[in-house]
Amino acid sequence: MLYIIGLGLSDEKDITLKGLEAIKASERVYLESYTSILPHVSCESLSRFYEKDVIIADREVVESNSDEILRNAGSVNVSFLVVGDPFGATTHTDLVIRAREMNIPVEIIHNASILNVIGACGLQLYNFGQTVSLPFFTETWKPDSWYVRISENRKIGLHTLVLLDIKVKEQSLENLARARKIYEEPRYMTVSQAANQMLEIEDLRNEKVYSPDTMAIGVSRIGSRDQKIVYAALKELAQADIGPPLHSIVLPGSRCHEMEIQYLEAYRQH
């Protein structure tokens, strides 16, 4: 059996009982390490808590060498651990498809993810529109397809969850071109960086989708004991420091219920 197990968003204790039982029954346990992180725990801590050696599975392993993860999973139990919920990233869907092609039984064990825990900011989940991802800009690459999705949401009054980029075990263009296995330091986009990039694209496109005065919500380490939620104008979030990763931004839509607005006021920057 291949188990794909959600870990939740905070630490080793967020695992479900069903997930923990599956891990303990597994011969090999992999931790997907590049679409998200647990802010309060290391791989070593997970190994101690689960009483199993946890093998780091980076992007290269999962996307290019998944056969190793699936090796003999038709005859022994293998666990693949995912921060949040298993279906928070398309990579994990691909792993399920590959397992099915090899006639390997698959069981999905779900957990909390950013897509439902973001309700902690007070906005109703059923009033959210399309979720978008905001990548790190470079001097020569500033993609803005996400801007169109935000525009579509705002036209019909829906909230937008903006997921912020992380870079783990990435290579520079030079090292990639020279096939050198040298990796950059991990980077996690902050609310401040994201707000600045969003305002930069608004300046360039000038379609009035939002403005520096548009109220938005910055969140960090959501779902953890030390989570932080800040309600402020985008121009204020562009200067804000809300601590260690992971960060996200929410743009509230015009359909905000009075109760949603009342709840948000507790997080307003003064």
Question: Which among 57, 79, 112 is the end of a domain?
Answer: 112
Q: How many domains does the chain have?
A: 2
Mean pLDDT of 241-264: 95
SS3 268: strand
Residue 134 annotated as lining a ligand binding site: no
Q: What is the pLDDT of residue 66?
A: 85
Asked whether residue 262 falls in the same domain as residue 136, the answer is yes
Asked whether residue 127 falls in the same domain as residue 245, the answer is yes
Q: Over pLDDT 90: what percentage of the chain? A: 76
> Cα 78 to the chain's mean position, in Å?
24
**pLDDT single digits (tens) 75-127:** 999 999 999 999 887 678 889 999 999 999 999 999 999 999 999 999 999 99
Q: What is the pLDDT of residue 195?
A: 98
Q: What is the pLDDT of residue 15?
A: 96
Asked whether residue 159 falls in the same domain as residue 248, the answer is yes
Residue 163 annotated as lining a ligand binding site: no
Tally Cβ neighbours within 10 Å of residue 270. 3
Q: What is the CATH number of the domain that holds 92?
A: 3.40.1010.10
Residue carrying structure tokens 């390490």: 33
Distance, in Å, from the CA atom of 73 to the CA atom of 60, rounded to the nearest integer, reads: 20
Q: What is the pLDDT of residue 170?
A: 63
Residue 119 annotated as lining a ligand binding site: no
pLDDT band at 219 (very low <50, low <70, confident <90, very high): very high
The rounded mean pLDDT for the chain is 91
- The residue segments making up the domain with residue 9 are 2-112
Q: What is the pLDDT of residue 17?
A: 97
Residue 164 annotated as lining a ligand binding site: yes
Tally Cβ neighbours within 10 Å of residue 195. 26
**pLDDT single digits (tens) 144-203:** 999 999 999 999 999 999 999 998 766 556 655 666 666 667 899 999 999 999 999 999
Question: Which among 62, 83, 112 is the end of a domain?
Answer: 112
Least confident of 16-20, 65-69, 101-105, 121-125: 65-69
Residue 158 annotated as lining a ligand binding site: no
pLDDT band at 23 (very low <50, low <70, confident <90, very high): very high
